[in-house]
Amino acid sequence: MNKRPIYVTVLGYLLIVAGAVGIAYHFTEFRYTPLSEYFGVLVVRLIAIVSGISLLRGKDWARWLSIAWIGFHLGISIFHTKEGIAVHAVVFAAFTVMLFLPASNRYFRFRA
């Protein structure tokens, strides 16, 4: 059996924490946010949690979902500051590289 690379573990837990913290943070705004907008935020945060858990379980599709999740954030960051775009671009590149390194490929290939 192939051992999970440490960086896959870190990314998995990072996604879980980001999703959970995001839900908790946006829950405080529930009274002031339109329901449709709150629902969209909730779905995006739940996707982070699902992809993080699935990365830890070795699901190959979770790599793509994780990259799509951070890619979405990169896309919406164009409406914010240049620094936000830069940070999201670096995180997107790091996710992509780490999730497709040879050790990651082996881990996900033998877990599917």
pLDDT per position as a tens digit, 3-49: 899 999 999 999 999 999 998 887 777 676 677 777 888 899 999 99
Q: The domain containing residue 63 runs over which residues?
A: 6-111
20 assigned to some structural domain: yes
Question: Length of the chain in residues, anyone?
Answer: 112
The predicted-structure confidence for 42-76, as pLDDT tens digits, reads as follows 899 999 999 999 999 999 999 999 999 999 989 98
Pick from 28, 48, 53, 49: which is nearest to 38 by CA?
28
1 assigned to some structural domain: no
Our count of domains for the chain comes to 1
55 assigned to some structural domain: yes
The neighbour count for residue 4, using CB atoms within 10 Å, is 18
63 touches 112 (CB < 8 A): no
pLDDT tier, 97 (very low <50, low <70, confident <90, very high otherwise): very high
